Structure 1
């Protein structure tokens, strides 16, 4: 299986690569359009700030390629947020794969939400074998609103979409690569999609 992690300068690439290595898969880091298109599965990572990440995607032309991919694609953290219509972070136009807005948590809660929180309302093969209210590791100041494409929910001041799915595109707000055994199971489930 050829697994490509899109390499566009955004954050958590090495920890994702190590997580797949533990599952016996050597993930390739690439910004090469042909290599990404030829992959069996694609990971769209992200740690950083939305507007500068989108700028990097536009400069490399990857903003045009990602929405056209036909194989299973998993966006992680900022990667998922960039797959949405728009983010309040830097007033950023996203890739428009998921029909949802990304908002900033209000000042009534500690931002970023950092640490372990539960996911529930699980609705996808991505969560095969994962129990309702399983803990996942999160670090974020912005969230995708609940919407018809939600496949998992988390509550932090309000309920928000902690995972999204549309066609072959999946997104998770949490970091499966940092979420222990259950996070590894989600990555393994993604490989089986």
Structure 2
């Protein structure tokens, strides 16, 4: 759905659990034509689909299913169409979330569990650096000491997905640390995601979104 002027169309999926307006503004500043919607066809046909998320894992997962967002994400990825998840929008891409001892099934795009942060101070709220994966496109052009804005009490502490096929590119995993190291971003083919909020991360976040849009 690239527009005639070369601008890429990005849909921010509105399922009731994300900072859709701040994401819309940040993507527009990064050069995209942005629409907030849960319309099935528009979400399927956009150049890029952004899935935000705030709040509890279980509630976000339920809201996504009620809006058929899980099906949209799966269908887009099956066709190699780019999807990006932010914060809990990243967490629900994993196999499961565990909150207050209750386990909720996630989308299962990646194995692993979203579990409580193992740190003295929770939630993790504020700016932090990341350990960028070698070869990252998402963080291209950013300094090693670039900081991003995090607000979360849960994270994935163990990454288990590898590829034994030499013809397949292994996912690129970027880490950060709050107490124990946790997954801060993943680049896996058409599916990218960040635990932090690029839309709230100033110039560094703007560069990151520009990088994503540039791959659409």
TM-score after normalising by structure 2: 0.84
Q: Which runs of 5+ in 2 are unaligned?
A: 1-7, 162-170
Contact 1:120 1:134 in 2 (8 A): no
Match of 2:132 among 116, 121, 126: 121
**Where does 1:1-193 land on structure 2 (aligned, <5 Å)?**
1-69=8-76, 70-89=80-99, 90-106=102-118, 108-123=119-134, 124-147=136-159, 148=161, 149-193=171-215
How many residue pairs get aligned? The number is 192
Runs of 4+ in structure 1 over 4 Å off: none
Deviations 1:23-56 (A, max 9, x none): 2323111111111110101101011111111111
Structure 1, unmatched stretches of 5+, are: none
TM-score by length of 1: 0.93
* Structure 2 residue matching 1:65: 3-state secondary structure: helix
Aligned CA-pair RMSD: 1.5
Q: Which structure has the greater CA radius of gyration? A: 2
Kindly indicate whether the alpha-carbon contact (under 8 Å) linking 1:76 and 1:171 is maintained by their aligned counterparts in 2.
yes
Report the structure, 1 or 2, having the larger helix content: 1
